[in-house]
Amino acid sequence: MTQSTKPYPLHFKPEFKERVWGGRALEQFGFDVPPGHIGEGWMIADHPNGVSHVKNGELAGLGLDEIRERFGATWFGAKGAVAGLGRFPLLIKLLDCNDDLSVQVHPNDHYAGLPKGELGKTEMWYVIDAAPDAKIIYGLKPGTTREKLAAAIEEGKIMDSLQEVSVKAGDTFYIPAGTVHALCAGVLVAEIQQNSDTTYRLYDYDRPGLDGKPRELHIEDSLNVTDYEGAGASRMSTAGTPAGEWLRLASSPYFETDKGVVQGDWELATPSDSFVILIAVQGQGSIGWDGGSMDIKAGDCFLLPANLGAYRLGGDMTVLRSQLP
């Protein structure tokens, strides 16, 4: 287990997080989900609030933080080695929204009120599954100013200022920092985001948290970081994506994410300057590389080192690919 360890796709043991809005849907992927209202699986994580550990190959048992420190730019690429406050730059989650999430907004990297050691949070969602009537909150209604939003909060009418959007499986949403948003009940989502755990809550439906007490709101911070002119949020339906072609879902300063439909064998390669993250969102198949192969099923997430080079996807499945821009 040295600097010369041959690169291979890293498969991690998820870190599960209980949330008041969580459920049991992540069990469908075959995970050993702990008891309780499990809302988040941190699939690839290198954060003070959660680190995922490798469960395959020579590096089994090591945390992503240890791998980052040991292999640096050799495995993560020149881009990956300099991003994210010395941590791995991205955080990959699966979210089970059994109930509505709080109405929230994330700061950017430059907000003066950021907690020490934290980054801002730009993120994106890919809807893996959705109930027939599922919806999300996605942005403010046109013409909503800071003053109008503050008044609506004061009057208990914040929902009148928010845009609701119906969602279905295959929809994708880009959520730059400053975008007011909330996932709602009945959706299962893959989330790609900056490596940050900073969220400001505007509204939480006056419900108690897991401890029976009201969850903290962050009204002033939320009003400060909201982009009232629109931060560049965008959405798209990805139904009908052709096999063997990458469909760009999101481009940001922090990540680029594509959707790919695998039917048969697909020869690919990692870029030399960035790792690749693969998330299987539907079906099953395999990944092969110089030195081995491994089965993939829906819910699996893999980190491919930048120096892996050529790899092959096979089978009948849909994957998301994320890398640094």
Who has greater pLDDT, 280 or 72? 280
What are the structural domain ranges in the chain? 10-237, 246-323
Domain 246-323 falls in which CATH fold? Jelly Rolls (2.60.120)
pLDDT (tens digit per residue) in 187-246: 999 999 999 999 999 999 989 989 999 899 999 999 999 999 989 999 999 989 999 999
Q: Which of these, 108, 96, 170, 166, lies nearest to 138 by C-alpha position?
A: 166
Rounded mean pLDDT of the chain? 95
106 is in an annotated binding site: yes
Residue 4 has pLDDT above 80, yes or no: no
Which is catalytic among the residues 87, 201, 235, 312? 201
Does 218 count as an annotated binding residue?
no
DSSP 14-34: PEEEEEEEEESGGGGGT--PP
Confidence label for 254 from pLDDT (cuts 50, 70 and 90)? very high
DSSP-derived secondary structure letter, 146: H
**Is a pLDDT exceeding 70 seen at residue 18?**
yes
Phi/psi at 232 (5° precision):
100, 20
- 207 is annotated as an active-site residue: no
Of 235, 209, 222, residue with least CA distance to 177: 222
**pLDDT the model gives residue 85:** 55
Look at the block and give the residue holding tokens 């959706």.
187
Confidence of residue 3 (pLDDT cuts 50, 70, 90): low
Asked if residue 180 has pLDDT above 80, the reply is: yes
Contact in structure between 31 and 223 (CB atoms under 8 Å): no
pLDDT band at 117 (very low <50, low <70, confident <90, very high): confident
**What does the pLDDT look like over 70-106, one tens digit per residue?**
998 899 988 876 655 578 999 999 999 999 999 999 9
3-state secondary structure 45-82: CEECCEECEECCCCCCCCEHHHHHHHHHHHHHHHHHHH
In the block, which residue shows the tokens 């420190």?
69
Please, which pLDDT band fits residue 64 given cuts at 50, 70 and 90? very high
> How much of the chain, in percent, has pLDDT values that exceed 90?
89
Is 123 known to sit in a ligand binding site?
Answer: yes
246-323 has the same fold as 10-237? yes
Mean pLDDT of 48-56: 96
pLDDT at 2: 52
Residue 300 has pLDDT above 90, yes or no: yes
Nearest to 107 by CA among 29, 201, 18: 201
β-bridge pairing 276-289 and 301-304 = antiparallel
Integer-rounded Cα Rg, in Å, for the chain is 20
Render pLDDT for 131-163 as a digit per residue (tens, 0 to 9).
999 999 999 999 999 999 999 999 999 999 999
Q: List helix spans (H) across the chain.
A: 64-82, 146-154, 219-225
User: Which fold, 10-237?
Assistant: Jelly Rolls (2.60.120)
